[in-house]
Chains A and B, each alone.
Chain A
């Protein structure tokens, strides 16, 4: 059983499109995160979210938005995709705000 799963694994799309990446965790965690790994392999936090608080990294464009239908899911919506959005996006989860986070396998987004 995959603890943190992301779909799709690969996503190829045109500039200007709107896309979503789904994330689900079956660990019973109540806190979830989205990270972006750019071409320099730099893993950077985008959002941290639990049912009490959403923390947005100030460098994230407002074209990106997290949507959480329930505690086990945190989806990432991206509007008006740009070339610079091409990256690998990782979802993660933790119990509360505990430091140890568990990651999904990543979604490789390519914007053409």
Chain B
């Protein structure tokens, strides 16, 4: 069963506008959330993260919002640039084993920023 869901497989945005990527999760044990960016033929690269004790984290043009009650998080990119075109994966971390953490990924949203 898929515990992290990204219901929009694709998103197109004009350059300079805001991109909003959404993610929902079902497991209340998740305590840390991450966004990864992936270009073709490359591995996912870490972008930004947020702990469950916060509701917002900002890093330059990227902001992640967390709504724990709704089990929802979103990634905002402002302003969007053509180089942001990639697949974005939402991931959530849950403790497993003794001190271990595993990441559970969504299926990704392909963002296309149109020049």
Chain A residues engaging chain B, CB cutoff 8 angstroms = 4, 35, 40-45, 48, 52-53, 55, 90, 92, 96-106
Contact = CB atoms under 8 A, between A and B. Distances in A.
Contacts, number: 61
5 contacts: A41-B108, A53-B97, A99-B101, A103-B44, A106-B43
A41 B107 contact: yes
B43 A97 contact: no
B49 A48 contact: no
**For the side of the interface on B, what is the size category?**
20 to 34
A65 to B, nearest CB: 18
B100 A53 contact: yes
Contact of B43 (A48, A53, A90, A99): A90
A99 B105 contact: no
Interface in B58-97: 87, 89, 93, 96-97
Nearest to B36: A103
B94 to A, nearest CB: 10
A99 B103 contact: yes
A40 B34 CA distance: 20
B115 interface: no
Contacts of B105: 35, 42-44
Interface string B31-49: 0101010000111111001
B41 A99 contact: no
B28 interface: no
A90 B93 contact: no
A43 B2 CA distance: 10
Contacts of B104: 45
Contacts of A101: 46, 103
B108 to A, nearest CB: 6
Contacts of B32: 99
